[in-house]
Amino acid sequence: MAPTLNLFLISTLIVTTTTLSYSRTTPPHTTLLNVSSTLHQAHQILTFTPNLLEHSTPTPTPTPSLSHIESSKSTLFLSLHLHPRETILNEHHPNYTTLLLARLARDSARVTSLNTKLQLALTNLSRSDLLPQDLSAPVSSGTAQGSGEYFSRLAVGNPPKPFFMVLDTGSDVNWLQCKPCSDCYQQSDPIYDPTASSSYNPLTCDAHQCQTLEMSACSRTQRCLYQVSYGDGSFTVGEFVTETVSFGSGSVNNVAIGCGHDNEGLFVGAAGLLGLGGGPLSLTSQIKASSFSYCLVDRDSGKSSTLDFNSPRPTDSVTAALIKNQKLDTFYYVQLTGFSVGGVSVPIPPETFAVDQSGAGGVIVDSGTAVTRLTTQAYEALRDAFRRLTRNLRPADSVALFDTCYDLSSLRSVRVPTVAIRFSGGGTWTLPAKNYLIPVDGAGTYCFAFAPTNSPLSIIGNVQQQGTRVTFDLSNSVVAFSPNKC
Ligand SMILES: *[C@@H]1O[C@H](CO)[C@@H](O)[C@H](O)[C@H]1NC(C)=O
Ligand SMILES: *[C@@H]1O[C@H](CO)[C@@H](O)[C@H](O)[C@H]1NC(C)=O
Ligand SMILES: *[C@@H]1O[C@H](CO)[C@@H](O)[C@H](O)[C@H]1NC(C)=O
């Protein structure tokens, strides 16, 4: 009698629970995480041998020239190769955990540097006000290993010499390590030598490019000296000059670029930096690009992609309004309204994502930050929604900044709740599973790849952008996300 009653009770309970959770709502939307293939890639990248010879031939042919563009927007399609860091540098990590921890250390240095830049802009301080501490500050662990997750290949000078440059949407000033070096870090290409280029042209102190610099000085001979410090102890100092920059399909004369004689901290491996920010000295502004787009291939994939200028935005993309911060023209802000997990909206007050009166807060799209940072409140709401729908997965210990991890070592693939980012105007960008569940040890532990930040500034990072063509349509003030367009 008793066993029968128990069974009856249990089945009633099951029916009741099932009814409560599912009868009035549709099941959560899920998507497939291919555990086998992401783990396979993670193992492959550890033994990947960069083939620099493949990249050693100058890509560009220095015609046609865009040097006469003055007021009109340029429309010539220009394209550069884009490579994930691990396919260029031979860093020899003993296992995937050390590779991941190195990436995360660089990433926190990056986030610090973006926040410092914004704080300086909001408080009207100039970098020179901070200079003494800045220069004496020890370079933090991340920067000592060299920042920059994606490198593009372009050529500088006449005759054009090819260089790997870090792609950076979070800064404007372009620069190259430059002979003679008072202090240059290691790079994979020979260091740029101005004496070997007929198009090298120093700027004078009264040149408008020199006056536009945040930090400049004048040499005894009236030449323009620049300095950029990245807010985390790293910096570059040298002469501000103009040079010819060549792309695959054309070249642009008289691009203002820093010839850095003293370069410390960031960017080890790359010959310099390509500033793609919204300020007047960025490459995009100088060539008057109507748009630019990049596709960041999966960092473990060993593949490459392109950085394009003046390309039309793909038609099937999710769009977001591109917003400017009056206090800082460098960053690309988008108006985010929230997230959904499993197809259901996560309750987060929308003002969490807005730029406030003072210019603080908001959400930027950044090429150089890896893991998306959200204000603590937003992060916790997103994470909790994800945890609630993943109770079927075996939990694992936290790893570094990740507090939501799973042991998927016994699975070849698994269905996980969808995660989507919503923009004002109704666009919903649904992320592939591998853009939010990433391997952390090569043994089958995966973590939810979002992180909280104490700063009011949120950042959409490149882990979430992987495999997506991101178009900054500058003429129409739109950012477009197009999945599978690498
Ligand atoms: C996972 O990826 C591998 C390699 O790309 C593929 O062969 C396999 O079919 C995928 N598994 C699923 C379940 O899609
Ligand atoms: C990875 O390598 C580091 C450094 O050699 C070592 O301390 C760590 O235990 C290794 N981790 C695994 C999971 O093998
Ligand atoms: C910064 O300068 C602007 C004008 O240049 C001024 O309106 C604003 O109040 C200043 N902000 C601070 C925090 O001092």
Question: With 90 as the cut, is the pLDDT of residue 230 above it?
Answer: no
Ligand 1 pocket test: pick from 41, 412, 413, 416 the residue with the most ligand atoms within 8 Å of its Cβ. Answer: 413
329 is catalytic: no
Question: With 90 as the cut, is the pLDDT of residue 60 above it?
Answer: no
pLDDT in tens, 137-154: 344 444 445 567 899 999
**Residue of minimum CA distance from atom 4 in ligand 3:** 124
Question: What is the per-residue pLDDT for 52?
Answer: 57
Task: Measure 358 CA to ligand 3 centroid, in angstroms.
Answer: 9
Task: Return the higher-pLDDT residue of 111 and 267.
Answer: 111
Q: Closest ligand 3 atom to the C-alpha of 122? A: 13
Question: What is the per-residue pLDDT for 147?
Answer: 65
CA distance 332 to 277: 7
Q: Closest ligand 1 atom to the C-alpha of 36? A: 1
Task: Measure 124 CA to ligand 3 centroid, in angstroms.
Answer: 6
> What distances in angstroms separate CA 262 from CA 135, 140, 179, 233, one per listed residue?
12, 18, 10, 13
CA distance 382 to 398: 17
**For residue 55, what pLDDT band results from cuts at 50, 70 and 90?**
low
Question: What is the per-residue pLDDT for 409?
Answer: 98
Question: What is the per-residue pLDDT for 248?
Answer: 76
Is beta strand 175-177 parallel, antiparallel or unpaired with respect to 272-275? antiparallel
Give the ligand whose atoms come closest to the C-alpha of residue 301.
Answer: 1
Catalytic residue among 134, 168, 189, 298: 168
* Nearest CA among 28, 11, 88 for reference residue 345: 28
**Contact residues for 389 (Cβ-Cβ < 8 A; gap 6+):** 28, 341, 342, 417
Task: Measure 412 CA to ligand 2 centroid, in angstroms.
Answer: 24
Catalytic residue among 107, 189, 300, 366: 366
Ligand 2 binding pocket (C-beta < 6 A) is 94-95, 97-98, 441
CA distance 305 to 369: 18
384 is catalytic: no
Question: What is the per-residue pLDDT for 284?
Answer: 96
Is 413 a pocket residue for ligand 1 (Cβ < 6 Å)?
A: yes
Question: With 50 as the cut, is the pLDDT of residue 6 above it?
Answer: no
Residues across the chain = 486
Question: What is the per-residue pLDDT for 356?
Answer: 94
Share of the chain above pLDDT 90, in %: 67
Ligand 3 pocket test: pick from 119, 123, 124, 356 the residue with the most ligand atoms within 8 Å of its Cβ. Answer: 124
Where is mean pLDDT largest: 14-18, 168-172, 247-251? 168-172
**Residue of minimum CA distance from atom 2 in ligand 1:** 37
- Provide the β-strand partners of residue 306: 81
* Structural domains of the chain, with CATH: 30-40+315-483 (2.40.70.10), 56-124+135-309 (2.40.70.10)
**DSSP character string of 201-244:** EEPBTTSHHHHH-SSEEE-TTSBEEEEEE-SSS-EEEEEEEEEE
Average pLDDT over residues 465-481: 96
Q: What are phi and psi of 49, to 5 degrees?
A: -105, 115
